[in-house]
Amino acid sequence: MTSIGIGLCGLGTVGQGVCEHLFGNRALLQQRLGLDLAVVAAAVRDVAKPRRLPADATTVRITGEWRDVVDDPRVRVVVELIGGLDDAFDLILAALKAGKTVVTGNKALLAERGAEIFAESERQGVPVFFEASTAGGIPIIKAVREAFVVNHFLSFHGIVNGTSNYILSRMTDAGLEFADALAEAQREGYAEADPTLDVNGWDAAHKAIILASLAYGSWLRPADLSVAGIDLVSADDIRFARQLGWRVKLLASIRARDAGVSASVWPTLIPAGHVLASVNGVFNAIMVRGDVVGDALFYGRGAGGSPTASAVISDLADAATALVSGGVPRCSGFRPHALYGRALPPGELESRHYLRLAVDDVPGVLGQVAGALGANGIGISSALQPEEHDSGDRAQLILMLDRAKESQMQRAVAELEALPCVRGTAKLLRVESFGS
């Protein structure tokens, strides 16, 4: 049986999961692939640190230098799992220049420098696989790249960050405030000690960049996205949304329009009866709309050692099969096609909005607020002033607004916050009904 040498760079949670399942399911993989995926070398930052590795992994060469793995003549596929940007970028380019296929799950790196990586991949004629970079064990990259190859993609809507989804689920189910739900997520191991990229929306944004670039044929820049995190959301917003028939989710939205491609990640009100409203806890889901397939939904665990390891090993199987057949897989890596024109600037993105204001409880306030919105071309579809939130001379005003560009909304919010009758900072969330 042909053996394909695998080199792992990084033996953290995902790397150990890859190693565990490659050894534990070795016979199954051999039967299905007709190949042996053999881990022969692994690079780690601290060689002395104890790790949970399979008993039969004693033949794996452990080194403190990723260059040793790339230079090892037995290694034909390099798996980058060290994370970060600079070292990971250098590692991937070195592997490509050495003619070695690359598998990576580094979403931040692909979002920031994917264009450079895939340009080098094209120059060297060596593929890069990246299924694990988006939504963990959900095979969304393979579906977009292969199963839906005949489709023009009309839109993607996804819950693609498990930490944020867990926090919002607990805020919804238990009435927790954001800080309390975050602390619980950290205690349960669902949030990192530094959860910044999860809660500020940028982990989801990196995944949105990868999906958008793959689907629409040219790489978006981080500056092309409108991004906001769940730290904007309070228990009051969750409760008011429920009263109005909505649920709050951190939603990644990508659309193709005649004018170009738009992408955003925002806390968003979605209808309580929509399938994405029922995606709770650490689970992810992505809804794809194609002109041929229609709507398709992908659901599963979006993070964690085993789900992500499953995606890595799927890429390893494709890479190994291509190496044995003597060619590059037809749909491997990123293929530019540029059918959709430019990326729309964030200010041009259109959406409905939920707006919550703390206002003086005096006559004429709604007229002043409506005037500021109307001056910016924004209509009000409904208004709610909960009586139980009256406190002395202060009241809560919740407005559901008509569609408007983000630039319009930002101008309107600035004007509203300057009104003498408005107290504090306005709370602005998006509203999505999943139309065309």
Gap between the Cα atoms of 221 and 95, Å rounded: 25
- In the residue annotation, 207 being an active-site residue is answered as yes
Angle at 275 between CA 273 and CA 280, to 5 degrees: 100
3-state SS, residue 285: strand
Closest CA to 9 of 92, 82, 83, 105: 82
Based on its alpha-carbon atoms, the radius of gyration of the chain, rounded to whole angstroms, reads 24
CA distance 373 to 401: 9
The answer to whether 390 touches 359, Cβ cutoff 8 Å, is no
**Do the Cβ atoms of 163 and 204 come closer than 8 Å?**
no
Report the distance separating Cα 33 and Cα 52, nearest Å: 26
Strands (E) across 309-419 are located at 350-360, 380-384, 394-405
From the list 109, 297, 94, the residue with the least C-alpha distance to 203 is: 109
Q: Specify the DSSP element, H or E, that contains 21.
A: helix 13-24
Q: Which helix (H) or strand (E) holds 156?
A: strand 153-159
Neighbours of 188 (CB within 10 A): 11
State the angle between helix axes of 26-33 and 13-24 in degrees (0 to 180), rounded to the nearest 10.
70
Selecting among 100, 207, 405, 427, the annotated active-site residue is 207
Please count the CA atoms within 13 angstroms of the CA of 9 that sit on its side-chain side. 30
Q: Which residues are catalytic?
A: 207
